[in-house]
């Protein structure tokens, strides 16, 4: 039997309405729905090759050039088992199909950005893995159906199954079958969305998001109010803002929700801090950009780390970048002419704390590609 | 007629259940009740001399050696007018009293600590002013009655009318007459409470508390939950913890409420930050002290600024201070032997960011003293 192979890329997504809290830890079922923008794979992507062969004696996994013990990765095992089960059902229904479900797999995955940068690498990685194996197995699943599998690997991975603007509907079923990603709008609906990712120097995560979110769920006395009375309305409003291409509303909701996510982290016991003084300087700088423009043209958002993602529309790029001119000289930041200076305190702190900028934009979902990743000798 | 004179000192108080939000801005009526510990005046105090004389042609005010235009200080005017009205009523009832109410006042006030240090100077200042004028006028008011006047100068000033452990009951009346401070317990009930005030270098306030709290009231979508469903229970629990001398419970509530106050600041639009990276290092250091002790022996709390106040009991002083040994050499910190080192990252950040430590303890309320402050030539 030949070696079967498929390779998929998958994007990073950055939530604009945040996922924080699980109602079911095993199944990665969230306490609230969330929304994200998918970023271009030109700049940030995971690539995964999946191979099946009767020469393989065990499932094997390589992540960024390092062999990982797959049996110690229960979430990866779960996802692979689910995909294999789906293939087995196909083969049972059509015995003419090659028997891939019984073959061992080799999975090789790489990110084109540092995992440690705190840039949702697990989301892109699980989306690429799910899509690569689904391609290998020729599964008939839709992206939404695949998102249910990816979600079990890493919650926010479900949103990386789509390009453009994506919602993760929390669902209500105990088995999680309705906790899935759907498209809010494709890239083409609002193609001018851009993002500048400000990577903070020496960012060492305070608490892992997996551990941190459950501390919040169990200890924050404000958390329930957030998931019950705040997020549901924001979810509808943000979908509408995207559909209406209403950037000021989209931006206002994005910033408010980032702040509230970090607020419930701080309201946890012990408190969780992801924002630091550099993050604060980024917030004040974005506020200054909007104040100078006389309208909201930029929105900050922060995941479980100090890195700042700034969303803006292409037509406002010059105004936004000139407001960030303190970053001239930082790797990845285009040289721009300086804006009328804002508060020097924030500019200095921001410039001193950012080691790299990734200039990117809204992008498509997972892509099948021909190039294959080679395994590394184990 | 002679010159009449009285002088009072008043203490700083540091809230353990935070005041944040006004339901009536003019009257300084709060959205929630609060609790504080009064700190010793040996270390932190305001001193105010009030004089009345028929030689004075206008009310005059000096703060820390600088003549202030009293007519531009509406809150000071309000407080003085209320005190004068009370004196006028006394004189009306007993015409044998000297006619002080019609005389102009000279008020001289000083703090023994830098106003800019963010150490509740306005609370001590207004409490000293109210008490000095009340002494001058020989008003029969109880501390609680005076607290209603002081509250109109600066909300938290009402709590500086008492020593020991103090509650500010929010009250429900529109005129604020029941929004007042009461004693939870006198110093003698729990005399071993100590406090280390860690003053952060170059602390420049992000937003004034007066402005900041109303931003939170009007924009935070979590604030209402805090004042409606969180603080009322904490208020009762914290009073009980003080009465029971239950330090772990007192500490847990104190830390949780400090964190929640800063969480609703962050949930405001635009977000308000008072904690910085040095504050976070102080939090992690206190957590390490408690972890090393195997029980809660220290509690951090932060007002509207980055300075950290650490409460602890005298019997645990050695353990607490050795956990802060990274501060050896910082002004005001006693040289202690180093503890088994915690996380070096936090120790280094804390040591680099603290410019001064004030070692103090629970203390009494305002004191009448004989020494008089001289006015400064205007």
Helix H or strand E encompassing B234: helix B231-243
pLDDT digits (tens, 9 = 90+) for B34-91: 999 999 999 999 999 999 999 999 999 999 999 999 999 999 999 999 999 999 999 9
Query: Is B151 in the same domain as B246?
Result: no
Q: CATH number, domain at B225?
A: 3.30.70.890
Residues A320 and A338 in one domain: yes
CA distance A354 to B83: 55
Nearest-Cα distance to chain A for B352, in Å, is: 15
Question: d(Cα B234, Cα A115) in Å, to the nearest integer?
Answer: 42
Residue B201: pLDDT band (50, 70, 90) is confident
Chain B residue numbers touching A263 (CB-CB < 8 A): 222, 263-264, 266-267
Mutate to test the interface with A, among B267, B269, B283, B286 (most CBs of A within 10 A): B267
- Report whether the peptide linkage leading into residue A270 is cis, meaning its omega lies within 30 degrees of zero: yes
Q: What is the pLDDT of residues B248-286, one digit of tens each?
A: 999 999 999 999 999 999 999 999 999 999 999 999 999
d(CA A287, CA A290): 5
Give the helix ranges, DSSP H, for A267-334: 277-293, 317-323
B216 and B321 assigned to the same domain: yes
Q: How many structural domains comprise chain A? A: 2
Indicate the residue among A141, A166, A185 that finishes a domain.
A185
Question: Which residues does A2 contact at the CB level (< 8 Å), separation at least 6?
Answer: A53
pLDDT of residue B204: 62
Angle at A242 between CA A117 and CA A286, to 5 degrees: 50
Please check whether residues A261 and A152 belong to one and the same domain.
no
d(CA B28, CA A113): 53
In this structure, the answer to whether residues A129 and A278 fall within a common structural domain is: no
The answer to whether residue B369 is domain-embedded is no
> Alpha carbon of A111 to those of A69, A108, A124, A270: distances in Å?
18, 11, 8, 33
Domain residue limits at A29? 4-185
Residue A366 lies in a domain: no
**Mean pLDDT score of chain B, rounded to an integer?**
94
Same domain, A157 and A275: no
- With contacts defined as CB-CB under 8 Å, which chain A residues touch B249? none
Which are the contacts of B26, defined by CB distance < 8 A and separation ≥ 6? none
CATH number at residue B83: 3.30.230.10
Which residues in chain B are contacts of A230 at CB distance < 8 A? 221-222
Q: CA distances (Å), A96 to each of A16, A82, A100, B132, B148, in order?
A: 46, 21, 12, 98, 87
B377 inside domain: no
B-chain residue closest to A202, CA distance: B345
Q: Min CA distance, A225 vs chain B (Å)? A: 7
Pick from A32, A225, A272 the residue to mutate for testing the B interface (most B CBs within 10 Å). A225
The sign of the CA dihedral B326, B332, B335, B339 is: negative
Residue among B3, B12, B7, B1 nearest B108 (CA): B7
Contact A160, A38 (CB under 8 A): yes
Residue B323 main-chain phi, psi, to 5 deg: -70, -15
- How many Cβ atoms from other residues are within 10 Å of residue A22's Cβ? 17
Per-residue model confidence as pLDDT tens digits over B99-148:
999 999 999 999 988 765 567 678 999 999 999 999 999 999 999 999 99
State CA B314 to chain mean position distance. Answer: 22
State pLDDT tens for residues B212-229. Answer: 999 999 999 999 999 999
Helix pair angle (B277-293, B344-353), 10° resolution: 130
Contact criterion met (CB below 8 Å) for A10 and A127? yes
Per-residue pLDDT tens over the stretch A314-350 = 999 999 999 999 999 999 999 998 766 666 889 999 9
Last residue of a domain, one of A158, A185, A212: A185
Helix (H, G, I), strand (E, B) or coil at B319: helix
Per-residue tokens: B45: 């105090």
Q: What was the pLDDT predicted at B106? A: 97
Nearest Cα to Cα of residue B366 among B63, B8, B75 = B8
Domain boundary among A153, A169, A185: A185
- Please name the member of A264, A270, A277 whose beta carbon is closest to the beta carbon of B287: A270
Is residue B378 in a domain? no
Residues of chain A falling short of pLDDT 50:
378
| CB A100 within 8 Å of CB A4 | yes
| B342 shares a domain with B224 | yes
* Residue A299: its H or E element: strand A298-301
What is each CA distance from B140 to B5, B83, B88, B148, in whole angstroms?
17, 11, 13, 14
CA dihedral angle for residue B56, residue B60, residue B63, residue B68, rounded to 10 degrees? -140
Residue B190 or A114, more confident: B190
Is residue B366 in some structural domain? Answer: no
- Mutate: best of B231, B258, B271, B302, partner A, most A CBs <10 A: B271
B260 in the same domain as B156: no
B367 inside domain: no
Q: Give A252's contacts in chain B (Cβ within 8 Å).
A: 269
Residue for token pair 């099946």: A52
Separation between Cα atoms, residue A203 and residue A182, nearest integer Å? 32
For residue B204, which residues of chain A lie inside 8 Å, CB to CB?
A: 345
Q: Residues A229, A323: one domain?
A: yes
Residue B371 lies in a domain: no
Residues contacting A292, CB < 8 A, separation 6+? A319, A323, A339, A340, A342
Distance from C-alpha of A143 to C-alpha of A290, rounded to nearest angstrom: 36
The predicted pLDDT at position A95 comes to 95
B156 and B262 part of one domain: no
CB contact under 8 A, B226 and A222: yes
Residue B189 phi, psi dihedral angles, 5° rounding: -70, -35
Q: B135 and B236 share a domain?
A: no
Q: What is the ipTM of this complex?
A: 0.93
Q: How far from each other are the two terminal CA atoms of chain A, in whole angstroms?
A: 23
Per-residue H/E/C for B180-228 = EEEEEECHHHCCCEEEEEEEECCCCCCCCHHHHHHHHHHHCCCHHHHHH
pLDDT of residue A173: 97
Q: Residue A26: which H helix or E strand, with range? A: none
Q: Is residue B12 part of a domain?
A: yes
CA distance linking residue B283 with residue A98, whole number of Å: 59
B183 has pLDDT over 60: yes
Burial class (CB in 10 A: 0-12, 13-18, 19+), A140: exposed
What integer pLDDT is reported at residue B301 of this predicted model?
98
Do A76 and A179 fall into the same domain? yes
What confidence score (pLDDT) does residue B205 get?
Answer: 63
């Amino acid at each position: 039997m030949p070696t079967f192979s498929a390779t998929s890329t998958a994007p990073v997504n950055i939530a604009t309405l945040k996922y924080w809290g699980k109602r079911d830890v095993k199944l990665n079922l969230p306490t609230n729905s969330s929304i994200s923008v998918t970023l271009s794979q030109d700049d940030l992507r995971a690539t995964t090759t999946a191979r099946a062969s009767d020469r393989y004696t065990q499932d094997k996994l390589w992540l960024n050039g390092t062999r990982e013990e797959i049996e110690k990765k229960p979430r990866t095992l779960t996802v692979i088992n689910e995909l294999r089960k789906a293939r087995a059902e196909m083969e049972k229904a059509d015995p003419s199909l090659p028997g891939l479900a019984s073959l061992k797999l080799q999975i090789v995955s790489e990110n084109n950005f540092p995992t440690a940068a705190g840039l949702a690498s697990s989301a892109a990685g699980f989306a690429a893995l799910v899509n690569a194996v689904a391609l290998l197995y020729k599964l008939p699943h839709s992206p939404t159906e695949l998102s249910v599998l990816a979600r079990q690997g890493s919650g926010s991975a479900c949103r990386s199954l789509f390009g453009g603007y994506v919602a993760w509907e929390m669902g209500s079923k105990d088995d999680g079958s309705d906790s899935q990603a759907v498209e809010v709008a494709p890239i083409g609906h609002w193609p001018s969305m851009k993002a500048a990712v400000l990577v903070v120097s020496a960012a060492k995560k305070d608490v892992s998001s997996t551990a941190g979110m459950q501390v919040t769920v169990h200890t924050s006395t404000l958390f329930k109010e957030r998931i019950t009375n705040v997020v549901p309305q924001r979810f509808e409003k943000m979908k509408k803002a995207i559909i209406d291409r209403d950037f000021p509303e989209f931006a206002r909701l994005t910033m408010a929700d980032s702040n509230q996510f970090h607020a419930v982290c701080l309201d946890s016991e012990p408190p969780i801090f992801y924002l630091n003084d550099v993050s604060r300087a980024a917030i004040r700088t974005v506020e200054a950009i909007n104040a100078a423009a006389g309208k909201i043209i930029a929105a900050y958002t922060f995941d479980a780390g100090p890195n700042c993602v700034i969303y803006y529309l292409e037509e406002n790029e010059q105004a936004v970048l000139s407001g960030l001119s303190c970053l001239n000289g930082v790797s990845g930041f285009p040289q721009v002419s300086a804006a009328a200076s804002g508060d020097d305190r924030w500019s200095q702190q921001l410039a001193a704390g950012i080691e790299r900028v990734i200039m990117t934009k809204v992008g498509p979902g997972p892509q099948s590609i021909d190039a294959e990743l080679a395994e590394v000798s184990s």
